[in-house]
Structure 1
Amino acid sequence: MTSRVTLISPAMSLSLRQARFDDGTTPLDDGGAARARAAAGTLPPAAHVMVSPSVRCRETATALGLAAAEPSADLAGLRTGRWEGRTLDEVGGSEPEAVARWLADPACAPHGGESVEDLCLRVGRWLDAASRTDGRTLAVVEPDVVRAVVVRVLGAPATSFWRADVPPLTATELSGRAGRWNLRLGNPLRPEPDQD
């Protein structure tokens, strides 16, 4: 059985634009919502549709026409504890050593939240379960989740987590069998051009 998983990153929001540690409550900005609505209907059919629990992922799913997507705590973004709601610049100004340690050491969680390693393990368990599911799985997920999947699929060290850029409203597609995945990254969701 070939497994297929498509991960969609959320459309643009103010927290993404400001490099803010999202607390899960930030909605899409007007431009992001409009682009997501314009891309509705461009996704492949899926047997299973899931969504990260954050507002920006749920709003992206709804704008894409995936209002019935099932929320999954396993697909939540990296939990950043006391840094949530603050920008990277703010935290870097008040806790520069902690930020440097966090960015360099994937086992570190100085913010009282979750380490990158813990996120990669959590998302890896979800991906293992998805590989045993019949039909395509489609999920609107936080960029952190996409990074964790890339680390897992490539067998890369967790130190490479921050090296993967995940643009808004892009698809990362996986297909494979017997635990071996093929990966297609960063496909932008675009409305179909008018056919005249």
Structure 2
Amino acid sequence: MTVRVMLISPATTAALREARFEGDVPLDAAGLRRAGAAASAVPRADTVLSGPSARCRETAQALGLRAEPAESADALGDWDLGRWRGRTLDEVSASEPESVAAWLSDPSAAPHGGESLLALCARVGAWLESLPETAGRVLAVVEPAVCRAATVRALGLPPETFWRLDVAPLTMTELTGRLGRWNLRCGRELTGDPA
């Protein structure tokens, strides 16, 4: 049986527009409106999950989803960027240029004291591979970093590819497969128009 994993990135927040390493920030009014308008475009799923952040939970709710409490909530959590959380990329780049350079060029680096890119990809990949062949259609509202990490792992891409993948708000990344062999459909925008 083929497993279909549909990863929806949450709606926007002010922190996203500021290029801020978010933390647990709720949606702003514009994000809530956009998510509500996209509710009719959400596909049917056998299992619905949400990342643990306020942004993911609020997006799921605005999309009309009743996300189950996930045993895998830690696996679906955002990238742990340690002490950089809450700061903008410009602030961190100005105060720690060598650390930012290492973080962007070495997938094993974690100068912020949080999780390395390799660790993020391994965590998300382990969740993806743990899905049983009978899972059917799994829909999860997760942070863009989780969508990117899942894509890197599912397709066996070099970790550095992570930096070249863009995941826009309220888009769906779809992975289908079984037995560790995955195919990708990316970037489907969720709009009020049925697809």
Normalised by the size of structure 2, how large is the TM-score?
0.94
Distance 1:70 1:141 in 2: 14
Contact kept in structure 2, 1:49 and 1:70, CA below 8 Å: no
Residues 82 and 112, structure 1, Cα contact 8 Å, conserved in 2: yes
Structure 1 position 131, deviation (Å):
4.8
Shift of 1:67: 3.4
The residue that corresponds to 2:48 in the other structure is: 49
Stretches of structure 2 that go unaligned for 5 or more consecutive residues are none
What residue in structure 2 maps to residue 11 of structure 1?
11
Give structure 1 stretches of 5+ with no counterpart: none
- Structure 2 counterpart of 1:119: 120
Corresponding residue pairs, total: 192
Between 62-71 and 105-114, the greater mean CA deviation after superposition: 62-71
The match for 2:74 is 73
Q: Distance in 2 between matches of 1:82 and 1:96?
A: 15
Q: CA RMSD in A?
A: 1.2
Whether contact under 8 Å (1:8, 1:140) holds in the other structure is yes
Tell me which residue corresponds to 2:167: 166
Q: Is the 1:5–1:130 contact (alpha carbons within 8 Å) kept by the matching residues of 2?
A: no
- After alignment, is 144-153 or 61-70 more displaced? 61-70
The alignment partner of 1:137 has SS state of strand
Q: Deviations over 1:130-178 (max 9, x none)?
A: 2534221000000000110111122111111111000000001111122
Find the counterpart in structure 2 of residue 187 from structure 1.
188
Give me the whole-angstrom Cα distance separating, in 1, the residues matched to 2:84 and 2:179. 39
Rounded to whole Å, the distance in 2 between the matches of 1:70 and 1:188 is: 25
Q: Residues 135-154 of structure 1 correspond to what in structure 2 (within 5 A)?
A: 135-154=136-155
What is the TM-score with the length of structure 1 in the denominator?
0.94
How far apart are residue 43 of structure 1 and its match? Answer: 1.5
The separation in 2 between residues aligned to 1:135 and 1:153, in whole angstroms, is 17
Identity of aligned residues (%): 59
